[in-house]
């Protein structure tokens, strides 16, 4: 494995996504923040649901994107409020992050 540590982010998209494809309604999205254009970041969107993807589901998606959690890394959860300009009442948003490394031959 490469020694280059990156950060994976998991968040509930309350109004759907616009990338990599447009979705409507709440869904969870996982991406790995990297150098370069955001549109080039590895990303996975789960089908419309508010149920948090399990640790096993997150690890499987990370592997499919070419990454693995750093040894001993845990998902760190954070709460925030959505922006006031959203088309619905301001509410708490939930997100998580974890340190990851590219797998050998991965996309990173």
Q: pLDDT tens, 41-78? A: 999 999 888 889 999 999 999 999 999 999 999 999 99
- Global pTM value: 0.81
pLDDT surpassing 80 at residue 8: yes
Flag whether pLDDT at 28 surpasses 50. yes
pLDDT band at 90 (very low <50, low <70, confident <90, very high): low
Q: Which of 9, 3, 4 is nearest to 78 (CA)?
A: 9
Instruction: Give the chain's mean pLDDT.
Output: 84
85: left (phi over 0), alpha (psi -120 to 50) or beta: alpha
């Amino acid at each position: 494995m490469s020694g280059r540590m990156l950060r994976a982010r998991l968040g509930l998209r309350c109004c759907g996504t616009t990338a990599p494809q447009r979705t409507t309604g709440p869904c969870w999205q996982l991406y790995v923040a990297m150098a370069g254009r955001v549109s080039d970041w590895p990303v996975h969107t789960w089908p419309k649901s508010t149920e948090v993807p399990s640790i096993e589901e997150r690890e499987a998606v990370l592997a499919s994107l070419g990454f693995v959690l750093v040894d001993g890394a845990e998902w760190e959860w954070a709460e925030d409020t959505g922006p006031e300009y959203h088309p619905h009442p301001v509410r708490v948003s939930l997100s998580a992050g974890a340190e990851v490394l590219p797998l050998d031959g991965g996309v990173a």
